Amino acid sequence: MNRYLIDRICRWLIYAVVATVVALILLFVGFLIAKGWSTVNWQFLTTASDDGLGIRDQLFNSLYLLILTLILSCPIALGSAIALTIYGEKSRFASVAKMAIQALSSLPSIIIGLFGFLLLVLKFKIGFSVLSGAIALTFFNLPILTQSMSLAIATVPSSRLDAGISLGVSQWHTIIKVVLPEAIPGMISGIVLSAGRVFGEAAALIYTAGQSAPKLNYGNWNIFDSNSFLNPLRPAETLAVHIWKLNTESIGPDAEVISQGTIVVLILTIVAFNFLARQLAHHWQHKIYR
């Protein structure tokens, strides 16, 4: 057979496969959105699941956990990223740490969840709670966030650091006033992308944040009250856990409808996060290179 013929056949085969896969994926995502689209409305978002067709508390729990997780993980990830990319770039300590971070990022999220269960729920007796969940999600988020922040910092030329140091400025102030501001676009998109991952995570949460969503009182600002929406020690089922729970244990009449609606909310939120990541990065880029 002629090699030009082979070339043409292979190329058309590739085109056909790619077209099929892309079509299937679009169909898949379109199907997900179409199925749940009619379920999602203001009422669905604001009704407690005990009161009918709604996911109010799960939605809030997801956001609350996300915010706490980011508050816990960002400083640690940032500090580690600086240590790995700038302070100990070539030290033995840094190479050990890099290996550890790689190992951590390769652990399945169920392992992180079980470890969180063991450490936080059983050992520290925090119980199935927002706090346990947020800490477990922090464990889950740290390696990825550290890696993306390291990458963002590494894009800043090291000559900036030399320049600052040669002016007699401390390395630390050069880092926080020159290097980090320049790395912000990359860091922000890293944070927001990781937020998407955290928002959809369930395996790390079922044995830490728990699988129940007590009805919350959004007017109760006393964080020690068990029905206060801010109470960090109450169990907090998230959207993703809700979908899992509905489909594994109590297959009620509305389970499928609620799941479909919840999926739309989940996917749209994550897509919005990704969009936001790109926009923010763009915005900052403009601000700095004005």
Partner 1 sequence: MEPNPLFTRSKEIRQDNWGRWLCYISVSILLLLVVTIIYFISSKGIQTFTKNHVSVWSFLTTADWNTGTLSGGKTDLGALALMTTSFVTTMLAAALATPLAFVIGIYVVALQPKFGQKFVQPIIELLLGIPSVVYGFIGLTVLVPIIRQHFGGTGFGILAGALILALMILPTITSLAIESMRSVDPSYQKFAYTLGCTRWQVIYHVILRISAKKLVVAVIYGVARAFGEALAVQMVIGNTVQMATSLVSPTATLTSKLTTDIGNTIDGTLPNNALWTLALILLLISLAFNLIVKGFTKGDRAA
Partner 2 sequence: MAPVATYLQTPTEPIAIQTEDLTVTYDQQALWPTNLQFPQHAITALIGPSGSGKSTFLRCLNRMNDGLAKVEGKIMLGEVDVNRPEINVYRLRQQIGMLFQQPNPFARSIRFNLSFGVMEHQHISRAALQEKMQTALEMVDLWSEIEGDLSRNALQLSGGQQQRLCLARTLMLTPDVLLLDEPASALDPIATAKIEANLLKLKQNYTIIIVTHNLEQAARISDYTAFFYEGKLREFDRTKQMFIKPHLQLTNDYLSGNFG
Please list every residue from 161 through 200 that binds partner 2, using CB under 8 A.
162-170, 173, 177-178, 181-182
Stated length of the chain:
290
What's the DSSP call for residue 86? I
Closer residue to partner 2 in complex, CB, 11/177: 177
237 binds partner 1 (CB under 8 A): no
> Which tokens sit at 285?
């880029």
48 binds partner 1 (CB under 8 A): no
What is the C-alpha to C-alpha distance for residues 269 and 83, in angstroms, rounded to an integer? 33
Amino acid at 162: D
65 binds partner 1 (CB under 8 A): no
Shortest reach from residue 11's CB to partner 1, in Å: 7
Site for partner 2 in 141-160 (CB under 8 A): 157, 159-160
> Which tokens sit at 76?
């640690």
Tokens 């956001």 label which residue?
Answer: 63
What is the C-alpha to C-alpha distance for residues 47 and 39, in angstroms, rounded to an integer? 12
71 binds partner 1 (CB under 8 A): no
- Tell me which of 30, 52, 79, 181 binds partner 1, using CB under 8 A: 79
Closer residue to partner 2 in complex, CB, 9/288: 288
What is the C-alpha to C-alpha distance for residues 208 and 128, in angstroms, rounded to an integer? 5
The entry of partner 2, partner 1, none near residue 127 (CB within 5 to 8 angstroms by kind) is: none
Name the residue among 17, 65, 16 with its Cα closest to residue 197. Answer: 65
Q: Contact positions toward partner 2, by CB under 8 A?
A: 157, 159-160, 162-170, 173, 177-178, 181-182, 288-290
